[in-house]
Structure 1
């Protein structure tokens, strides 16, 4: 977004007066409502980039220059017609509304893309298990997936059934430290200790992933945490038939 933020902000301010100026030769011959609709198209075009400030600036700029160039008295910020006042206000209101809708749409698209990425990761891991990939390769793949899904610094795997008193990512997606349930979305994952994600299959512990979030606050949501559990379960299924060559990865 940073690559095009400045050009979009510039266009949001300059495009409306440019459009209004182009309409000056025709302003005596068409209804201002048509000009307002054309400016709405400009606002929609700017808002489509999903930058709230740009959409709002385009709405304000459209309302101001619609008033200045296209309402009587011309070349003045005074409006004599109540209809023109309504149209200028509607331009502003519609512009802000369109911007909010565009931002919501982009967020929904990003969320869908993120979920698709999670699903792809789980499917790829399942395929690796099904095709008999080595335990070491599978663990390495899941380590990378866990780091990306949870937004953490790193992951290491330790084979065996021994467990520690470290904070734990549970099968239901909750994170606990002892008996205390941590509010991950609000406070983030613990940064002062590794978080244990148990690797199990058929009720038997096969190992654990130790998750590290030491240098940044990671706030994975419940869905992300459940994906992490699903990935660990895939490793558990693989370890039910083979042991890793390197038990500490």
Structure 2
């Protein structure tokens, strides 16, 4: 078998087996760790597989991690069912973050893959996901995300614009990079540009609006923080998407 095929086969095996093996090792500490901390550990495993393997390996690792997290760490234990709403949110979050990272790894092999492996960041995403699931008002979720973005990126301010795109401001892309005009802006070297930056909000293929970020010029938010900002904007998009049929039928 060619060497690259051996590597692909190995990463697929690791993608399937590493999450359940790690989960079994963590079961004795189930009463010690919070479920969000276990999810964080499993995300790290998915990141490792996604960086080393191909797209399929990353996807399989994400699915395997979410499935075994459900089986071992959500009640009722030992079954592929979830009783608590908060555990549903954590499981969905684990799968979403893991899939995002695996896709970034597949699309950008020459770039350093950004992984959400910071407990504070993961907790921020988890709280927002819970709010997006429980709140009946998408405006509440949008306002929550706006406040989170200000704190996360060290902004002077932030507002949300519904509807059509206007103008050509700088843009925070899906992979956490910033584009000014048609050129990539080196945030890690130059900091955020001294102009408003748009962060677009999508869900299920629909565009709902954009967060207009007002940065402090020269601020250098980490690649992790920028990726978390994109995920938070997606949570706002999901809240708006859930409310869309209600608005359309009114």
TM-score normalized by the length of structure 2: 0.49
Give the number of the structure whose alpha-carbon radius of gyration is greater: 1
TM-score normalized by the length of structure 1: 0.49
